[in-house]
Structure formats: C-alpha cells, structure tokens
A and B are shown apart, each in its own frame.
Chain A
Amino acid sequence: MSTVLTAADLRGSRRTWRVIKSKLMIGLTLLSFIVVLIPLVTVIGTVIAKGAGIVFRDFPAWFTTDIPVRTRAEGPGMGPAIIGTIVITAAASALAIPIGILAAVYLNEYGRNSRTARTVRFLSNVMSGVPSIVMGLFIYVVYTLRFGLSGFAGSIALACLMLPVVIRSSEEMLRLVPNHLREASFALGTRKSRTILSVVLPSALPGIVSGSLLAVARAAGETAPLLFTIGIVTKGNWDVFSGPNTALSAQIFRNASAVQAGPQERGWGAALTLVAIAFLFTVLARLATSLYQRRQAR
C-alpha cells in the first residue's frame, strides 16, 4: 500500500475522502469485534438458558448424584463427571506444570541460545500443534492397551497437550525477570540452583501461575484425548489411577447425539458446568497477572 503523499493530498476533497475512508475502515475493525461477540454471546447465552435449569433444579442434586444409568432418563446427576474432570485435570497439571516450568528454566537459565535449546524451543512450539486426537490415539496405543482404561491415561494425554503451553508461557515470564536480580544473587555467592529457586522463580511466579492456569482451563475442556482412554462410568471414581472414569467433556459429547430431552438437557448442564470451570480458571489467571503487573510496577 503506497503512502506517498503530495502537497495536494493534504488539502481539499481528497483529504476529506481519506479521512472518511480512515474512519470507515476503523469502524469496520470495531465491527469485526462485534461480529465475534455474536457467537460468543449466543453460545454462552444458549448454554446458560438450556443448562441452568437442570443444574440448579433440586440444588445440589446436579453436583452430588450419580449419572442416571438409563441414558434416556430425565433429571440430574453429573457428580461423577465433575469428579472425573477434577481428578483427571489435576493429575495432568501435576505432571505437566512442574516439568513445563523446569523445562522453561532449562531454556531460559541454562540452554539460552545454544543449538540444543533452540531445538527444544522449536519442537515445543511444534508440539503445541499436535492435534488432540493424535495425542489420544498415541496414549491409547502406548498406555491404555497395557494398563487398561483409567483417568490417568487421559491425564497423560492432557499433560502432553499442556506441556508446550506451560513451557512457552513460563519461559516468557522468566525472560522478563531482570538480569540484575540474578547478578545480585550471584554476587552474594549464592549457587545457581538457589538463585533460580529463591530469586528468579519467585519473582516470575504470578506470571507462571497465570500461564499455567490458562493451560489448565484449556485442558479441562478437551474431549478427544479422553474418548479412547478413560472409558465411561455412571458412579463417581476418585481413584485416578485405576478403573474407568468419565469427564464433563466426554458426557457433553455423548449426550450431543441423543434425541431424548433428558440426555440433551444433561448435555447442556454439563456444558454450563464446564464453561463455568474454564471461566473460573481464566479469571484466576487474570488475577494472577494483575498481581504480577502490580508487583512489577512497584
């Protein structure tokens, strides 16, 4: 786009037209935001309108009772899926977050711009693009076939999806830690591991927490990696390591193809619960970020 201007352009009608055009285009950019609001508001609105009924009817039955054994039955009961989502996501976080943070420490504090570090960084970005269904099949082949259906199989698959996200966000946060903090610590004779653990990581912590929470929010909503790995149950299973399990996302998927009103309503209820959980984690992440910014500002 040429922006060569002549003196004539700066006066008269061409100028007016250019200003109008500018306003018009900027109006269009604002319009594009409104266009995106439409599906967001519609989806969330539908989920609330169709899900709130079953979630809050006979409160807290939705959260405490088992899923009806008869799929076609009406009425609440999503407790086992909530339990499943919690334990599976928690186990996935327990795997992915420490490894991810340590890998970020490697990248930013040790590897830096070495060839190996660049490769790891590059592959970590590549890994963030591995389709979730591929991850699910992979875990099915290497884990489920040997150890059977369990929540943990799903956790590993989710952890593989979370790992690159955690690495990326943590590394970015570590990079923001000013170098003089490290230097000051070294100058006091502190060892590198101590410096990292007691100076670098704490000062990047809110940012790392924020990034990790966002990764958790995404992972909680994943469906494809769970389809082949965790099986399905109607009673709650707190034991993530043994026995089949279920999750909110899996229940939504299952109920999406039902014709009866009962399962469809449970699908909407599960969607509302899942969206609420994901939003909760996003809000927590936001809080962590603003905490971080306030600390930076000090």
Chain B
Amino acid sequence: MNNVKRRAFLAGIASLALLATACGDDESSSDTTQAPTTAGSDSSDAPTSSAGSETTAMPMDLAGELNASGATFPKTFYEEAMAEFMSIYPDVTINYAGGGSGKGKQDLADQVVDWAGTDSTIKDEDLPGFKGGDVLYFPTVVAPITVSYNLDIEGLQLTPDTIAKIFLRQITNWNDPEIAAENPDVTLPDQAIVVAHRSDGSGTTKNFTTFLDRAAGPDASGIWTLGAGDTVEWPADTQAGEGNGGVAQIITSTVGAIGYVDLSDATDAGLNMALVQNSSGNYVGPTVEGASAAAGGAEINDNLTYSAIWADGADAYPITAQTWIIVYKVQPDAEKGMLIKAFLEYVLTDGQDLAGSVSFAPLPAELQQMAIDQLDQLEIG
C-alpha cells in the first residue's frame, strides 16, 4: 500500500518535472506553484488511478543535492533512510551534518540547510528569525533514551526519583539503600557512581532532563531542581562525552559509571540498561515496543508537535523521545522542493520499516497518516 502510494507520488513528480521543463521560463510562477500541490494530493488520495503509468516512469530522474543538519539523536535512523533512498535514486545526494537540534533550527532559520532534524520545538520568540516563513513539523520516529550503566548486573530497576538523585550526586554509591530497596533480589557492589552526561548541547539532554523535570521535578517529588534544557547546570563532579557515542565510551571504560544514551548506541556498545518506572508504576525496559507504546499515549497538537516523555500507558517507556524533520512550507526552488517532498514521503512510508533495524520505533499509524497528509501542505515552485 505504502509502496504504491510512493510510486504514484513520484510519478506525479516525474511528470511535473517534464512539464516544468517543457513550460520553460515564460510560464508564470503561479502555475508552477499550483502544480505540485495537485500532484501531491493525487498521489495520496487516488493512487490507483495512476497506478498503470508509474512503473514505466520509474523515477530515475530524481536528482539533486539536499543539505541538512540538526539532532544527533535520530541521526542513525536518518543515515539508514538516506542510504536506502540514495541507493534507489543514485543521482540524489543528501548530507546530514548532525550538530544538535539547536544547530539544525538555527541553520534552517538562516537558510543554510534545506531541512533540519530537531528533537525540540521552535520557541515562539525564535519564529520571526526564520527567513523562509512558516515551518512544518514532520514527526519521523520515536526512540527510548536508555539509562545505561557499567556494573555486572542486568536489568537494574530505577525510579525517576532515584535517577534524579544519582544525577544530582545525592546518591554516590551503588550500594545505597534506596537503590537496594528497588532491587531486592540483587546484591549491589560497594562501588562509587560516576555520572556521565553530554558535553555538547543536545536534544537528548533536553528530553532526558524533561523526563526528570516531569517525573521528579517541582510539580512531582521536587527532587530534580535543575530544570530542563539542552545543557543544564550539572554537578561539578560529573563527566561528559561528545555525542551519544561519547557518553557510551565513558560508560564502557569506567566501572560504576551511569549515563543516558540513545538505544542504538547503547546496543552497539553492549551496555547494561536500567528498567525505569513509568507513570503507571511499572518498571519498563528501553525497547522499541516501549517507545511505540509511549508515542501512542501522547497527545498530538495540530502542527504535529507532541511529547512522548512521561506519557501515559502501562507499557510505555517513560523516557521516550520524539523527533521531527522541519522544513519550510514554501519551497521556492522546485527541484529542491520536490526532492524534500520525495525524501519525506520515503521516510514516512517505506522508511518506517527501517526503524526497527537500528533500534528506533516507527510512528503510531494514526500519527504516520497525519504526517503523510501534511505533505500536501508543502508549496513547491
């Protein structure tokens, strides 16, 4: 189904491209602005009608370059999707520079990149800075942020309060009675805790601290006092690494270390990951299923922004991060616009099947459909 849809859509693009070349420069710009919108809606509304022609127009004529930057959290998934997309269309190049959500937002605002990845929404006061006008949010995947540690114990159970105390350095040894109380069947070692966090400003930090702020912050137990942000004022006797990989490196090389890492890197590094107590009181491990459950329980706004952190649901993993690709609604450059649309379409359809292989969870079906529908709002040309 998805596949058919995509092809139909791409057929639309292909014919449009031919049309655009045929029309030449004399054509008024309003015509070209209209055309892609129709093509887009054709593809999603009535895919069967054009089903006959699309195989012949196998979209080899999709070409060009897209530059992007932004969140490092979904980078592994985007790289996977980009690699597949570029193997389908060899003439397409997409560069995703990473650098952090903030960098992505800033680069898009300055029109340095064509699309950006971000784990956090744009602040209202920053919106006027976006030189290209309105911005659309396309949710892409969700994924758990693990609380990983270096101890010879698997499946340690931690409550948000305990995690908050550990990261605030109020609990400094693994044999602390509070940890022991949550893990009655485990013999905890007399081992100093080393806290590892991100050195670079990061959406992952923002989401992790948002979790602590919601679950143990001023409105809850009041233990977590550092608020939520891309970087927060960590206690001085903690360490930091560059990127998720950097944190994972510290945990791997330091006995007794604990830190927050995306599931993909934590899995690759072979780290032990804690089960975290969710809002229903259940201890849930960081899995793709737990992330899907959390995303399913989240409340979604009209512009497709939402937060899956500390979401309701008995099986929901409480530190589940959402992430978006943001693009300008109006794409004056037809070639780039079509490329962006094609890539987004791919990420939201076939690309979803790739998520699981790199430890990301696909979007819940309802949200996926909303995102696909939103593609029609892109104004290309």
Q: Interface residues, chain A, CB within 8 Å of chain B?
A: 68-72, 144-145, 148-149, 231-235, 243-244, 256-260, 263
Contact = CB atoms under 8 A, between A and B. Distances in A.
Contacts of B243: 257
Interface of B: 65, 67, 69, 75-76, 79-80, 82-83, 86, 93, 95, 97-98, 110, 112, 241-243, 245-246, 248-249, 252, 264-265, 268-269, 358
Given A71-B79, A257-B241, A258-B245, A244 B86 contact: no
Contacts of B248: 259
A72 B241 contact: no
A244 B268 contact: no
A257 B76 contact: no
Contacts of A259: 245, 248-249, 252, 265, 268-269
9 closest residue pairs by CB, A with B: A257-B246, A259-B269, A69-B83, A257-B242, A232-B97, A259-B248, A258-B245, A257-B245, A70-B79
A231 B69 contact: yes
Contacts of B95: 231-235, 244
A69 B97 contact: no
21 contacts: A68-B83, A70-B76, A70-B79, A70-B80, A71-B75, A71-B76, A72-B264, A149-B67, A149-B112, A231-B95, A232-B98, A235-B95, A243-B65, A257-B243, A258-B245, A259-B245, A259-B248, A259-B268, A259-B269, A260-B245, A260-B269
Contacts of B65: 243
Contacts of B112: 144, 148-149
Nearest to B76: A72
Nearest to B94: A69
A231 B246 CA distance: 20
B93 A235 contact: yes
A64 to B, nearest CB: 17
A243 B67 CA distance: 9
Contact of B82 (A69, A148, A233, A243): A69
A226 B112 CA distance: 16
Contacts of B245: 257-260, 263
A119 to B, nearest CB: 37
B241 A231 contact: no
Contacts of A148: 112
Contact of B97 (A68, A244, A260): A244
A257 B72 CA distance: 13
B99 to A, nearest CB: 8
Contacts of B93: 233-235
Nearest to A69: B83
A226 B166 CA distance: 37
Nearest to B111: A148
B83 A70 contact: yes
Contact of B67 (A72, A244, A260): A244
Nearest to A148: B112
Contacts of B79: 69-72
A280 to B, nearest CB: 29
Contacts of A244: 67, 95, 97
Nearest to B83: A69
Nearest to B246: A257
Interface centre among A69, A145, A256 (most CB of B within 10 A): A69
Contacts of B269: 259-260
Contacts of A235: 93, 95
A252 to B, nearest CB: 13
A236 to B, nearest CB: 10
Nearest to A235: B93
A108 to B, nearest CB: 42
A93 to B, nearest CB: 26
Contacts of B268: 72, 259-260
B97 A231 contact: yes
